[in-house]
């Protein structure tokens, strides 16, 4: 399966991440990604590359409805008034009337969660975001959004790779009709050094990164958004649809998770879930 279907939207399970891609490098990489076949593009206000991505998409010749486009509201923009204005600015930079998925980038404590979610929902109701969701939310905040406030979220984007279990988040998402997007799916290159991944890669004539990505997208309700700037890496990352891992191999990779596997843990991070 090369896509996830949610609320009548088709989400390609392999997307192109653009964190730390700027200016001409971002333009070139995004162009190469589209040529390679990517149709899921992920950005964020804080990435400072929405304008470059918007320009590439506008001039690509690819119909807008063939692209699944995600952006994220930065923490400074969640206050009432700033939220809507920041969305308008993002859409202007992206040269589109809507995004396919709009996320709250990180939990914010100094603005009530209900207000943040209602502002997010208002954007969706105005048809400026087809789907809405969150990023870096532990289960407690997912539950608050969905159960306490009755907001229908489609997605939680979290760090997820072979060395970090996200079982609590995945279990909750699957039970509530959400999908999970894995960022840093290659663990910032650390997957290349692991013997288990190396051994599996040799069986399929693939590299370790391709095995890690295949492991992610082969899971129910999981998409992955690897970032790459080099043409060969961009092509390699999407070349994962001509093989499938066995149940034994999937379990072996699942067993690589460890307590210190998290790589992204800034000062403003929430209280993370403990792996079951």
Please state the rounded mean pLDDT for residues 99-126.
Answer: 96
Q: What pLDDT digit, counting tens, does each position of 150-173 carry?
A: 999 999 999 999 999 999 999 999
Cα gap 252→209, rounded to integer Å = 15
* Residue where the block lists tokens 């119909």: 63
End-to-end CA, the chain:
27
Please state the rounded mean pLDDT for residues 26-33.
Answer: 98
Res. 105: pLDDT tops 90: yes
| Angstrom distances, CA of residue 272 to CA of 138, 142, 159, 169, 247 | 6, 12, 11, 10, 28
Please state the rounded mean pLDDT for residues 84-93.
Answer: 98
Cα gap 179→169, rounded to integer Å = 10
Cα gap 201→223, rounded to integer Å = 20
Please state the rounded mean pLDDT for residues 77-82.
Answer: 90
pLDDT band at 268 (very low <50, low <70, confident <90, very high): very high
For 168, the 3-state DSSP assignment is helix
pLDDT band at 130 (very low <50, low <70, confident <90, very high): very high
pLDDT at 226: 98
Q: What pLDDT digit, counting tens, does each position of 185-195 carry?
A: 999 999 998 99
Res. 19: pLDDT tops 60: yes
For 164, the 3-state DSSP assignment is strand
CATH class, domain 3-189+212-245, is: alpha beta
pLDDT at 60: 98
pLDDT band at 276 (very low <50, low <70, confident <90, very high): low
Cα gap 16→6, rounded to integer Å = 19
Structural Rg of the chain based on CA atoms: 18
pTM, two decimals, is 0.97
Please state the rounded mean pLDDT for residues 196-208.
Answer: 98
pLDDT band at 30 (very low <50, low <70, confident <90, very high): very high
Please state the rounded mean pLDDT for residues 215-234.
Answer: 98
Res. 205: pLDDT tops 80: yes
* Residue where the block lists tokens 């289960």: 139
Active site residues: 47
HEC states along 95-122?
CCCCEEEEEECCCCCCCCHHHHHHHHHH
| 40 annotated among ligand-binding-site residues | no
Handedness of CA 32, 36, 37, 40 (dihedral sign): negative
* Residue where the block lists tokens 């859409």: 91
Rounded to an integer, what is the distance from CA 121 to the centroid of its chain? 19
pLDDT at 125: 97
In contact, 212 and 185? CB cutoff 8 Å: yes
pLDDT at 274: 87
Q: What pLDDT digit, counting tens, does each position of 32-56 carry?
A: 999 999 999 999 999 999 999 999 9
Please state the rounded mean pLDDT for residues 198-211.
Answer: 98
For 155, the 3-state DSSP assignment is strand
Question: Of all residues in the chain, what percent carry a pLDDT higher than 90?
Answer: 95
Domain borders along the chain are: 3-189+212-245
Query: How many C-alpha atoms does 232 have within 13 Å on its Cβ side?
Result: 1
Res. 113: pLDDT tops 60: yes
């Amino acid at each position: 399966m090369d896509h996830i279907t949610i609320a009548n939207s088709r989400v390609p399970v392999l997307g192109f991440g653009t964190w730390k891609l700027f200016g001409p490098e971002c333009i070139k990489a995004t162009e190469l990604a589209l040529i390679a076949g990517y149709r899921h593009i992920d950005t964020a206000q804080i990435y400072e590359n929405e304008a470059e991505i918007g320009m590439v998409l506008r001039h690509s010749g690819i119909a807008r409805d063939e692209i699944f486009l995600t952006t994220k509201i930065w923490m400074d923009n969640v206050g009432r008034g700033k939220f809507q204005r920041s969305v308008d600015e993002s859409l202007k930079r992206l040269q589109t009337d809507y995004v396919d998925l709009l996320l709250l980038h990180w939990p914010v404590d100094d603005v009530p969660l209900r207000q943040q979610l209602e502002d997010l929902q208002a954007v969706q109701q105005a048809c400026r975001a087809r789907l809405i969701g969150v990023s870096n939310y532990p289960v407690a905040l997912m539950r608050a959004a969905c159960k306490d406030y009755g907001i229908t979220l489609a997605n939680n984007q979290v760090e997820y790779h072979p060395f970090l279990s996200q079982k609590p988040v995945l279990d909750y998402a699957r039970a509530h009709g959400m999908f999970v997007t894995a960022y840093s799916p290659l663990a910032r290159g650390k997957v290349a050094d692991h013997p288990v991944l190396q051994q599996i890669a040799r069986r399929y004539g693939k590299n370790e990164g391709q095995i890690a990505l295949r492991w992610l997208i082969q899971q129910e309700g999981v998409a992955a958004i690897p970032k790459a700037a080099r043409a060969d890496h961009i092509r390699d990352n999407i070349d994962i649809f001509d093989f499938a891992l066995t149940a034994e191999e999937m379990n072996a990779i699942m067993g690589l998770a460890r307590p210190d596997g998290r790589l992204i843990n800034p000062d403003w991070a929430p209280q993370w879930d403990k792996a079951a």
